[in-house]
A and B are shown apart, each in its own frame.
Chain A
Amino acid sequence: ILNVEQSPQSLHVQEGDSTNFTCSFPSSNFYALHWYRWETAKSPEALFVMTLNGDEKKKGRISATLNTKEGYSYLYIKGSQPEDSATYLCALNTGGFKTIFGAGTRLFVKA
């Protein structure tokens, strides 16, 4: 069974700090890796989809990288803002409609 690990479980930063967190997985046998952002009382929203080793994606101050050979993905947030406070979920699509989620990293950004 593919296991998706995310670290840290939670993170507290000050406004303006840059931060990053990790998604790790034991195998490169997957179709795509997804990052979602889940704000309290809202729907999880897809941030990035990555499929190839070395993929890098960027959206504003948020970026992500993928290393399938060593089994990890990093999510970076530059200059954190209070509105970045959310749970960030990593998920692997193993083909078809099967998606396996990590437990998430909960980010708190203090103004």
Chain B
Amino acid sequence: SAVISQKPSRDICQRGTSLTIQCQVDSQVTMMFWYRQQPGQSLTLIATANQGSEATYESGFVIDKFPISRPNLTFSTLTVSNMSPEDSSIYLCSVSNPTDASGANVLTFGAGSRLTVL
């Protein structure tokens, strides 16, 4: 399966600032997914990042708050803009396992970025 490098692994941020998370995949993938896990909550899909087109956002998430870049088939960034304490979460990027032939969309994840907003 793919190997994903994600950074930063953790950060402490001030209210009102923005932070960009980067994910690098060791193989070319069509779609990359960005998830968030707030404390005690489920992993929730923020958006799907497609190369060459705008990201597709899930209900409750908007581009102004979570702008995404996807400049090529191996890299993506997620920015958390104008942060508030409610944005304190673990953010993960993921891709579908390219060797999975079942069609069951088994995911490979980065190690996550744990953000704390003061």
Chain A residues near B96: list those with CB within 8 A: 97
For the complex formed, measure the closest distance between the CB of A36 and the CB atoms of chain B, giving whole angstroms: 8
Contact at A97–B92, with CB atoms within 8 Å?
A: no
Q: How far is the CA of A65 from the CA of B17 in the complex (A)?
A: 46
Q: How many residues of A contact B (CB 8 A)?
A: 26
Chain B residues near A103: list those with CB within 8 A: 40-42
In-complex Cβ contact of A49 among B44, B45, B102 (8 A): B102
Q: How far is the CA of A92 from the CA of B4 in the complex (A)?
A: 22
Known: A31-B103, A32-B104, A97-B96. A43 touches B42 (CB 8 A): no
In-complex Cβ contact of B106 among A9, A41, A46, A96 (8 A): A46
Residue among B35, B96, B103 with max Cβ neighbours from chain A (10 Å):
B103
A residues neighboring B (CB under 8 Å): 4, 9, 31-32, 34, 36, 41-46, 49, 51, 89, 91, 93, 96-104
